[in-house]
Structure 1
Amino acid sequence: MTVGVVLNTTGPGNQIDATVRLAQEAAAAGLRSAWFGQVLGADSPQLAAIVGREVPGLQVGTSAIPVFGRHPLVVAGQALTAQAATHGRYHLGLALGTKLLTEGAFGIPFERPVARLREFLTALRQLTETGTADFRGELLTARTPLPARVPGAEDGVPLLVAAMGPRALRASGELADGILPYLAGPRALAEHIVPAVTAAAEAAGRPAPRIVAFVNAVVTDDVDAVREKATEQFAFYEQIPSYARVIGLSGGERAADVAVIGDEKTVAAEVRRYRDAGATDVVFSGTDIAGDADRRRTWALLGDLAD
């Protein structure tokens, strides 16, 4: 099982420089992968390409680019460039996105998200594997009157999806290489998510999918204070139906209920529960909410688990 961390920098300094420094620290701690979110700030594939080139020991990934407001031709170019820059260590994550961001930021109706995901993945697979596409769907068209290859990225790019609902899991199992569930605890993974995506992959004749579980986790002695901070910081996700659903399937009511907070023994035991539930990778997010000392302590544990 691969262990990794989401790198998220804040502060007045240069974000790219700060992220590279954090990635170097993560690699020195023994972590195997670094992941970068995509909202409206830094471009995640570019950030991953820079970090992967500066820190050769890390796998790098995007988690995750919404399929609304993007086009497969553009995303393929970004992903293939990152793959060439990192010599095969880049992983592309896609997401359905949310109504709030899609309509509020892009002014695009949030309609038929799973159908759009299917078409996006179909066109993107052609582009990342062959450098060409001839796809015309109901919602998207992707054609290559000129080649879209990137020398150095001939082996393609792993395609992962932040899928947790039944229809998105079915599409991901059929068309992607794995999933990136977030706020899904071991119970939701074992009873709902892993069986659904695995069955879809088997029915489509595809290999067993990767299950890259993103977990809010902190090693700390001040459990009550950190959980209170987590309750405040992660409350935003409770407004989003897909996250609210998976929190409930995990046995929680608040996003903080599925956060892993405690000493090394407690957190290591929870990582094992994720592995036993079917996770092939565990990526820690939110490790910075308790300050640098606890973040470093958390990363040290992850490095030990990786070994």
Structure 2
Amino acid sequence: MTIGVALNATGPENQIDASVRLAKEAALAGLRSAWFGQTFGADSPQLAAIVGREVPQLHVGTSAIPVFGRHPLPVAGQALTAQAATHGRYHLGLALGTKLLTETGFGLPFERPIARLREFLTAIRQLTETGAADFHGELLTATTPIPARVPGADAGVPLLVAAMGPQALRATGELADGTLPYLAGPRALGEHIVPAVTAAARAAGRPAPRIVALVHGVVTDDVDAVRKKVTEQLAFYEQIPSYARVIELSGGQRAGDVSVIGDEETVAAEVRRYRDAGATEVVFAGTEVAGDADRLRTWRLLGELADRPTG
């Protein structure tokens, strides 16, 4: 099972320089991939391209770019550029986004999100696989009167979706290569997410999907204080219906309840639970919450787990 980390350079240092430095530390610890979230700040495909070129030991990915406020043509260009820069080690994560950020930030109505996701995936698959598109949907049009190829980019950038609800999982299984659930504990993963996306992929005649579980967690001795801090930091997600639902399906009430916080033995056991629930890859986020010492301690453990047999 592949194990990676989500990098979030939030200090006063130049974010690009800090991300490269953190990625080098992650690679030295034995981690296999580095992922970058998309907010209103740094452009995650550019960040992934730079880091992936500077740290060739790592696969890199975005988790995840909302489909509202974007168009498949420029996103495909970003993805193909990152794929060429990293010589085939880039993974594109997409998301529905949220009503709050879509309507407040972009001034766009958050309407028909599943239909938009389906059209976006269909168009961007054409673009990333062939460098051309001729797609005319209800919500999106993507055509290429001139070529949209990026020489050096491998055909077929892996497409993943941060899907957790039934309709989004169905679309993901049918049209993407896998899913990127966040704050979904092993119970929600094994009982709801994995069966739904796998069944949809099978019905569509597609290969078994990748299940890249994004886990918020850290190795620390100060469990109570860190969990309190994490619960406060993640409270925003509890306002979002899809996250609230998956937290409940995981057996939690607060977002902090599904975070993995404890000593090495505790965290290793939880990683095994994710694997047993169907995760093909585990990516730890929020490892910086308890400071550099615990972050490096967490990365060392995850690097060791990445080297162990999965059987």
After TM superposition, the score normalised by the length of structure 1 is 1.00
1:4-83 aligned at under 5 Å gives the runs 4-83=4-83
Cα distance in 2 for residues equivalent to 1:29 and 1:172: 32
1:230 aligns with 2:234: no
State the SS of the aligned residue for 2:110.
coil
Shift of 1:9: 0.6
Shift of 1:154: 3.2
Q: Which runs of 5+ in 2 are unaligned?
A: none
Confirm or deny: 8 A CA contact 2:87 2:154 kept in the other structure.
Answer: no
- Specify whether residues 154 and 296 from structure 1 end up closer, same or farther in structure 2 by C-alpha distance, changes over 3 A only: closer
Cα distance in 1 for residues equivalent to 2:127 and 2:154: 11
1:90-239 aligned at under 5 Å gives the runs 90-239=90-239
Q: Which runs of 5+ in 1 are unaligned?
A: none
Confirm or deny: 8 A CA contact 2:3 2:306 kept in the other structure.
Answer: yes
Cα distance in 2 for residues equivalent to 1:234 and 1:293: 22
Cα distance in 2 for residues equivalent to 1:169 and 1:10: 31
Shift of 1:12: 1.8
State the partner residue of 2:288: 288
Cα distance in 1 for residues equivalent to 2:58 and 2:108: 36
Confirm or deny: 8 A CA contact 1:3 1:283 kept in the other structure.
Answer: yes
Shift of 1:48: 0.2
After TM superposition, the score normalised by the length of structure 2 is 0.98
Confirm or deny: 8 A CA contact 2:48 2:60 kept in the other structure.
Answer: yes
Opposite residue 277 of structure 1, the aligned amino acid is A
Opposite residue 178 of structure 1, the aligned amino acid is G
Shift of 1:236: 0.6
Confirm or deny: 8 A CA contact 2:38 2:65 kept in the other structure.
Answer: yes
Question: What number of residue pairs does the alignment pair up?
Answer: 307
Opposite residue 218 of structure 2, the aligned amino acid is V
Listed one character per residue, the Cα deviations across residues 285-307 of structure 1 (whole Å, up to 9, x for unaligned) are: 01011111100000000010011
Q: Percent identity?
A: 85
Confirm or deny: 8 A CA contact 1:80 1:156 kept in the other structure.
Answer: no
Cα distance in 2 for residues equivalent to 1:169 and 1:118: 11
Shift of 1:94: 0.2
Shift of 1:10: 1.3
Listed one character per residue, the Cα deviations across residues 253-295 of structure 1 (whole Å, up to 9, x for unaligned) are: 0000000000000000000000000000000001011111100
Cα distance in 1 for residues equivalent to 2:56 and 2:159: 21
Cα distance in 1 for residues equivalent to 2:11 and 2:269: 33
Cα distance in 2 for residues equivalent to 1:221 and 1:236: 26
Shift of 1:153: 1.1
State the SS of the aligned residue for 1:213.
strand
State the SS of the aligned residue for 1:244.
helix
Superposed structure 1 runs of 4+ greater than 2 Å apart: none
State the partner residue of 1:277: 277
Cα distance in 2 for residues equivalent to 1:109 and 1:175: 24
